[in-house]
Amino acid sequence: MSNSTRCAACKLLRRRCPEDCILGPYFPSNNPQRFSSVHKIFGASNITRMLKRLPVEQRAIAADCMSYEAERRVEDPIYGCVKIIYGLEKKKNEIELELAKTRSEIAFHSALHAQQQQQQQQVLWSMTNATQQSDQVEPSWLNGNSIQELHQQQQMANHTINEVHGGHDEQFTSWLDQHQPF
C-alpha cells in the first residue's frame, strides 16, 4: 500500500505500509479504533504472527474474532468475553430448566387427561352394563307378573270401575286414563 492510504495498523505504529501488508485488508484506515483495541490486548507482533499462520480464507474471521475479544476486554478488563459466555451459559441452563419443567407439566396433564378418559369410559361401561342388566331383570314391583299381565289387570280394573259408576262418570274415567302407569 502506498503511504497516502496506510492501514490503521501502520498509522498507529507510525510505519510505512508495504504493498503486501498482512494487516491492511483486516484493519482499514477508516476504522482506527478496531486496530487500536486489538493492539492493546494482543500486540502488533502477535496479531501478525497469528494471521500469518492461518490460510488466507480464514484470516478475516480471525481478525473479526480478535477485534471482538479485544473490544470485550477493553469494556471489562477482568472477564472480557468470559463474562458474556458465562451469561449465555447461565441463560441456557435457565431455559433448559424451564423446558424440563414444561415437559413435566405436559406429562402430568397428559396423564391426568388419560386418567379422566379412563374414568369416563368406566362410567359409560358401568351404565351400559346396568342398562343391559336392568333389561334382563324385572323390577320388584312387578311381583313376578309381566308388564302385559299388569296392563291387562289395569284395563280390567278400569272396566270394573266403569261398570260400577255406570259408565256415566266421564271425569273419573279420563282421570284414570291420564294417570295409568302403563
**CA 132, 137, 138, 141 torsion-angle sign:** negative
Tell me: do 69 and 100 sit in the same domain: no
Q: Residue 95 — pLDDT band, cuts 50, 70, 90?
A: very high
Tell me: do 69 and 90 sit in the same domain: no
Instruction: Please report whether residue 122 resides in a domain.
Output: no
Tell me: do 90 and 112 sit in the same domain: yes
- The residue behind cell 291387562 is 152
pLDDT in tens, 138-180: 555 555 556 667 667 777 766 666 665 555 556 655 655 665 5
The amino acid at residue 127 is: M
Tell me: do 15 and 64 sit in the same domain: yes
Tell me: do 26 and 67 sit in the same domain: yes
Q: Under DSSP, is residue 170 helix (H, G, I), strand (E, B) or coil? A: helix
Instruction: Please report whether residue 63 resides in a domain.
Output: yes
- Does pLDDT of 1 surpass 70? no
Domain count, the chain: 3
The boundaries of the domain holding residue 167 are 145-178
Instruction: Please report whether residue 90 resides in a domain.
Output: yes
Tell me: do 88 and 67 sit in the same domain: no
**Contact yes or no for 142/182 (Cβ under 8 A):** no
Instruction: Please report whether residue 59 resides in a domain.
Output: yes
Tell me: do 66 and 85 sit in the same domain: no
- Final residue before a domain boundary, out of 48, 75, 102: 75
Instruction: Please report whether residue 140 resides in a domain.
Output: no
Helix segments in the chain, DSSP class H: 8-13, 32-42, 44-53, 56-75, 81-136, 147-164, 170-178
**Contact yes or no for 23/10 (Cβ under 8 A):** yes
Instruction: Please report whether residue 159 resides in a domain.
Output: yes
Query: Of 19, 80, 84, 17, which Cα lies nearest the Cα of 44?
Result: 17
